[in-house]
Chain A
Amino acid sequence: DQQVKQNSPSLSVQEGRISILNCDYTNSMFDYFLWYKKYPAEGPTFLISISSIKDKNEDGRFTVFLNKSAKHLSLHIVPSQPGDSAVYFCAAENPGGGADGLTFGKGTHLIIQP
């Protein structure tokens, strides 16, 4: 049972356009959400996070939107740059549930085309 789902294994976007990566979750106890970016043979790099008390958080070119009623979050990258090509993981945390590990989705491979 996958509690965090990224339904698009890959996404191709033209340089300069907006990249939108989506993530759905099933556990309503999750209250903290994060996006990570990963290059091959490296560890995930933290990008941006959002607490469940907010519906939007912005940091430079990256914006995360949270829709709690739909149990859905998305990461917007604008404008997309060639260095953004990587695998993006959505992750969720339920610290109140006694387990403090992150639950990850399977990732979306973002390809930025020139």
Chain B
Amino acid sequence: NAGVMQNPRHLVRRRGQEARLRCSPMKGHSHVYWYRQLPEEGLKFMVYLQKENIIDESGMPKERFSAEFPKEGPSILRIQQVVRGDSAAYFCASSPGVNQPQHFGDGTRLSIL
């Protein structure tokens, strides 16, 4: 029973490039969440999606960031025209529903040169 799978584990981009982070939820989980962790900080909620729907994106920066969870395939967090401040660990979590524990992947560490 595989857990939440994120890839790549590490991603290096130059300023101005695009970063694509992928997340496959646990089997049977239809709720996907993305979080960002800056150094020495806790995780900060970014976006909550169900299949083909963004339910809550209140934590997403207004520009350059987007997320999707298509009918088929993994959820994607996309960052366009990356800047140094985007360097962080990005974690994906999934759950079977609300008021149920979210289970996390091991994250993607994004480094911007």
Does A93 lie within 8 Å of B99, measured CB to CB? yes
Does A100 lie within 8 Å of B56, measured CB to CB? yes
Tell whether B69 is near chain A: CB-to-CB under 8 Å. Answer: no
Tell whether A45 is near chain B: CB-to-CB under 8 Å. Answer: yes
Residue numbers in A under 8 Å from B58 (CB-CB): 99, 101
Does A44 lie within 8 Å of B56, measured CB to CB? no
Does A43 lie within 8 Å of B107, measured CB to CB? yes
Tell whether B41 is near chain A: CB-to-CB under 8 Å. Answer: yes
Does B59 lie within 8 Å of A101, measured CB to CB? yes
Interface size range of chain B in the complex: 20 to 34
Among A41, A46, A103, the residue within 8 A (CB) of B103 is: A46
**Number of A interface residues in the complex (CB < 8 A):** 27
Residue numbers in B under 8 Å from A74 (CB-CB): none
Residue numbers in A under 8 Å from B99 (CB-CB): 31-32, 51, 93, 95
Answer whether A42 and B106 are a contact pair too, CB < 8 Å, given A99-B56, A99-B58, A101-B59: yes
Tell whether A49 is near chain B: CB-to-CB under 8 Å. Answer: yes
Answer whether A46 and B101 are a contact pair too, CB < 8 Å, given A89-B42, A100-B48, A106-B41: yes
Does B104 lie within 8 Å of A103, measured CB to CB? no
Tell whether A34 is near chain B: CB-to-CB under 8 Å. Answer: yes
In the complex formed, the residue of A with least CB distance to B31 is A100
Does B4 lie within 8 Å of A43, measured CB to CB? yes
